[in-house]
Amino acid sequence: MKNYFIILFLLITNAFVFGQNLTGEELLAKAIAYHDPQNNWDTFNAAFNVEMESPKSSKRTTEIKINLPEEYFYSKAIKDTLTTEFTLDKGSCSIVFCGTKDFSEAQVKEYGLNCERASMYKNYYTYLYGLPMKLKDAGTIIHENVERKSFKGKEYLVLKVTYDKTVGGDIWYFYFNPKTFAMEVYQFFHDESKNDGEYILLSEEEIIQGIKMPKIRKWYYNTDDGYLGTDTLK
């Protein structure tokens, strides 16, 4: 019996040490193996819908099409009575607002009907639904040290990520389940000393083209845990 407890103690200790001794790159590799076991992200070509609900705004439903090999992105957002469509096709940009390409300068300013906004949406949706695979992109700095931290009552292996100045200035933390390596939380700061930025809680999963994507994302402010909204993958 005594030997049994010694072995059990060693197994638990080794599991803890294993988590602690993983490098950032090793943790990322395990997370990608969980979320994209067949390495499908580079050839991703699929469509999905995202429903966004916020206490300060009416519901928005967005249809998204991403074809990475063909460099194609399309989004169609419906909010109240307004419909906005952005298309980027190998650098060519197209915008349709409420069924027409003929809109006023006032509408351009009020609703952001420009190609910069189209690129912003492409980068936003491709990044968030391409995680953690997108952390292999050029300009991403994976910090070597992996921390074991508790967040909202759960234990995680935490990966710190920063970016080359040409890419971005935010600091990101990605929280992975220490048993499965599933991504369950991510968090970013513009200035960590001010505790600004947001954290996002992930729950449930949808499998799209063999990739496990978070189905529900709940957004909160870092400063006061203020609730921002929820988006749900349909």
Max Cα-Cα span within the chain: 81
Average pLDDT, the chain: 92
DSSP per-residue codes, 123-135: HHHHHHHTTTGGG
For residue 26, how far is the Cα from the chain centroid?
A: 19
Alpha helices, DSSP H, located in 22-171: 24-35, 105-111, 115-129
Confidence grade of residue 85 (pLDDT, cut at 50, 70, 90): very high
**Is the predicted pLDDT of residue 17 greater than 80, yes or no?**
no
Give me the pLDDT at residue 91, please: 83
DSSP per-residue codes, 155-217: EEEEEEEEE-TTT---EEEEEE-TTT--EEEEEEESSGGGT-SEEEEEEEEEEETTEEEEEEE
Its sign, for the CA torsion 220, 225, 227, 231, is positive
Q: What are phi and psi of 73, to 5 degrees?
A: -140, 135
Confidence grade of residue 21 (pLDDT, cut at 50, 70, 90): confident
DSSP 40: -
Average pLDDT over residues 83-102: 96
What's the rounded Cα separation, in Å, for the pair 153 and 181?
17
Average pLDDT over residues 126-153: 97
Average pLDDT over residues 146-154: 96
Give me the pLDDT at residue 173, please: 98
pTM above 0.95, yes or no: no
What is the tens place of the pLDDT at every residue in 153-185?
999 999 999 999 999 999 999 999 999 999 999
Secondary structure class of 23 (helix, strand, coil): strand
Query: What's the number of CA atoms in the CB half-sphere (13 Å) around residue 205?
Result: 14
Six-digit token string for 72: 């194609």
What is the tens place of the pLDDT at every residue in 24-65?
999 999 999 999 999 999 999 999 999 999 998 999 999 999
Six-digit token string for 127: 């990044």
Interior CA angle at 69 toward 233 and 29, to 5°?
65
- How large a percentage of the chain has pLDDT more than 70? 91
**Is the predicted pLDDT of residue 11 greater than 70, yes or no?**
no
- How large a percentage of the chain has pLDDT more than 90? 88
DSSP per-residue codes, 200-218: EEEEEEEEETTEEEEEEEE
